[in-house]
Structure formats: structure tokens, C-alpha cells
Structure 1
Amino acid sequence: MADRVRVAVLISGRGTNMAALLYAAKREDCPYEIVLVAANDPEARGLTLAAAEGVPTFAQSHKGMERSEFDAILDREIRKAGADYVVLAGYMRILSDDFVGKWAGRLLNIHPSLLPKYPGLDTHRRAIDAGDTVSGCTVHLVTPALDEGPILGQTEVAILPGDTPEKLATRIRLAEHQLYPRVLEELVTRERDPDWIVAKVGELAMELPEVAAKSSHGSPGWRIATSKSGKFFAYVSIRHHGEDAISLLVKTSGPDEQAALIEAEPDIYYKPAYYGPSGWIAIRLDRPNVDWEHIANWLRKSWSFVAPKKLQPMAEFLG
């Protein structure tokens, strides 16, 4: 499958969830590939499996190192591998806030409970002692707060009479191996889904003052809503005019800025077929690692180009 999303996996031990992700990636239509398995323990058994399956590995002990220093080494190796996402699969170290911030929205973890119940360790014993009849596992985005990131998927697992933590852990691990590859596939493909892209752009556009959503010539668009004839400042072009791209169209200051952007980053910017002669720029959105803060900045800038005088004082505030 062409243009697979590149994933790095961090482990500390056996790497059974890493193995589940790796074998799912062998499916011909899987949208991701494992490009690195890294461990904070050179003796982690999962490294042997990854190497045997032809996946590049990296290992270094964290002992005697500052957390930020070790995480900087990890970050360097992950970027060297060209990874778009980082997946924690039994990685038994808390990551530094700096590392988490660098991979915000692209850093996943799987936890053996139905979060928000039982964050942290000893989850199976805690669920059994509480008299719960159901436990399970959760895949979530990683944030600086431990096990509190947005939940992407969960699977429930029944707690049986007489269960021990070890027996429950075995069944939950089976559920993890099913859940993790599925959720990862959903996450890496959503940013190429036109509906998700339009919703994301719309969310950012509607944060600006006096904005209304309105389609134009079949394209979702956003305009200044102070009058019926309010000018458009953004569109999402979904493979229109023969272009093989899903892109945000926004106004630039003119042809010079448009040309400079395209020359500097031709993989991101291009001159749209219909709006290009008017100085608009197209920014590709159907690609990995879209910087949505960058997109929000472009929306604010384009809004300021078309906002009427009575709204212009807000442009300085927005910037």
C-alpha cells in the first residue's frame, strides 16, 4: 500500500502489543507501517522479535540519565526513522512534558482498565477488589497528565467469579491485541478523510468573529457573516478541478507571497486552479503531520484580509 503512515513503537519488555501492531501492519491494505521499535532496556525481549521481522530497532538504558536527556535521544531516533506517530506498547517510563508536547495528538498509549477508572498501576487487582463485574482496556492520546488523555477506543472484558489479577490480565491482553491495531488504523486514516478535515477546518474557522459556514460551487466555505454578501475567506477544496488533493484555500497578500510559499514548500503549497489567479493559496491537508496551529494562523490571516473596517480592530487582537 502506497503512502503508509510511519509509526514508531516504544517498549520496555516482551512487546506483545507491539507484535500485534506489527503483524496487523503486514496486511496489504493496512494504512500504517512500523518503522522503528525502541526500548529503554537493551534486554527487552520485544527487540529480538522486531529485528527478526525486519523492523529497525534502537535500545539504550535510561539508567543514570536525566529524563529530559533520555527523551531527547528517543525523539532524535524517532525522527531519524521518519515516524509520523509514536505508540507506547508496554513502555514503562513516564515521558517528559517536552516530549509529549512535541508529539501532541500523535502519541498513543494503551492502558489495562476502562479509563477514567484505575489509572496508574495494579489495575486488575483494584478492579477485582472493588467488586467490579467488568474491566477492559483503553487506547488514549497521551498528555502530560498520567492516563488522562482523550479516549480513542475501549473494549470491555468480563470479570469472572474467582478471577485473579493474573487470569484477568491474560484476557485483557487478548482484547488489547484486537483493539490497538484497529484504533491506530482509525487514527492515522481520519486525517485523510474529507469529512473529518472539513469538520476540523470548520471548528477552527468558527472560532473567528462574525463567521458563517456556507458552501460555494460545491466546496465547503466560511465567510464574514455581517451581511448576506459577506466575503469568503476560506474554502476546503476536495479534489476539485482535477486536482488530486484535499486542501485549504486561503487568501494571501498577493502573487509575490503566493509564489514565495510555493517555491519554499511545494509539497504543502500550490496554486489552486480556479482561485490561484486571484492570489489565493492552496495548503494540502491530506498529508501526515498537518500543523493545525499553522492552519489556524492562516485562517486568522485570511479572515483579516476580508473583514470589514468595523471588525478590523479584532484582527490585531487575533494575531
Structure 2
Amino acid sequence: MATLDDVRRLAESLPEVTSKLSWGHEMWRVRDKSFVWERPLRKTDLAALGDAAPEGEILGVRVADEGEKQALIASEPDIYFTIPHFDGYPAVLVRLAAVEEDELEEIVTEAWLLRAPKRLAQQFLAERELGQA
């Protein structure tokens, strides 16, 4: 079971990450581009989800495109979901209580790689590969 503290630790371990409050909730960015953020459900979200509305901490995560978003939701609907507010937007919502820490690390890192400048992302991947060798 992951928490926002886990998200904070993982996100802030990545190069050039800053955090800021947006609408009273924490958001993590790389060079002013958000990649993950705390996203509690609003009244309209709860109404749209009805009985399927999850409880607990929710994380918004940038993904590559609508296809990746739909694939995540289809593959693990207990973890990933969306709301009408994100229709057509490349982001997915994550039930933190349902995701394992290794998967959380993977989705946070992937989101960071999508938003980081190419040179910074390449440097990070090269350093990570050297560390695994």
C-alpha cells in the first residue's frame, strides 16, 4: 500500500524535481512541467463515479497518450481509473492504497521521463543503466 509520502520520496529522488501547491494539493514538476500530483476526488467526480468512487489518496499521473491511459485502466482497473474531467487528456488516476511500491516507482519514473527534457532523461537513463551493470 503506497502513500503520498512514498510518491514524494520517489518523485523528489529524480533529477531537477520541484514540488509546489496547486489548488491546495501537492504537485511534482520537472522544469516547470508537472508529471504527478495529488488529486482528491471532487463532488463532480464522486457523482460521475457513483458507487465505484474509491476512497483514500489518489494520484494523478501523466501518461504518453490516450492509448496508454486506456491500456493501464483495462489491465489493472483496481489500481487505475479516470474521470470525465480527464477525457482526452493524457493522465490517469491511481488508487495509492491499491498500488505496490515497485509499480508506483515505475509509473512515477515513466511520467518523469515523459516530461523531462530529452537530454536530462537520456542522462538519467544512462546513469541508471551504469548503476545496474
TM-score by length of 2: 0.76
Matched, 1:205 2:15: no
Shift of 1:273: 4.0
1:16-55 alpha-carbon deviations (Å, 9 max, x no partner):
xxxxxxxxxxxxxxxxxxxxxxxxxxxxxxxxxxxxxxxx
Contact 1:198/1:220 (<8 A) preserved: no
Unmatched runs of 5 consecutive residues or more in structure 2: 47-52
The structure that is helix-richer by fraction is 2
Equivalent residue number for residue 266 of structure 1: 77
Provide the secondary structure at the position in 1 that maps to 2:85.
coil
Q: C-alpha distance in 2, partners of 1:307/1:215?
A: 20
Q: C-alpha distance in 2, partners of 1:313/1:256?
A: 24
1:251–1:299 CA distance, 2 compared to 1 (3 A): same
1:306–1:255 CA distance, 2 compared to 1 (3 A): same
Contact 2:45/2:83 (<8 A) preserved: no
Q: How does 1:78-97 map to 2 (within 5 A)?
A: none
Q: C-alpha distance in 1, partners of 2:14/2:35?
A: 11
1:273–1:215 CA distance, 2 compared to 1 (3 A): farther
Percent of paired sites with the same residue? 28
1:309–1:263 CA distance, 2 compared to 1 (3 A): closer
Matched, 1:254 2:65: yes
The runs of at least 4 consecutive aligned structure 1 residues that moved more than 6 Å come to none
Matched, 1:242 2:45: yes
1:234-289 alpha-carbon deviations (Å, 9 max, x no partner):
012123353444222111121111111111221111114434421101111134xx
Higher relative contact order, chain-length normalized (CA < 8 Å, sep 6+): 2
Equivalent residue number for residue 112 of structure 2: 303
How big is the alpha-carbon RMSD for the aligned residues of Structure 1 and Structure 2? 2.2
1:217-237 alpha-carbon deviations (Å, 9 max, x no partner):
23211001x4xxx10010121
Shift of 1:309: 3.0
Matched, 1:313 2:128: no
Contact 1:236/1:248 (<8 A) preserved: yes
1:277 to 72, 77, 88: 88
Computing the radius of gyration from Cα coordinates, the structure with the larger value is: 1
Provide the secondary structure at the position in 1 that maps to 2:120.
helix
Whichever residue aligns with residue 207 of structure 1, its letter is S
TM-score by length of 1: 0.34
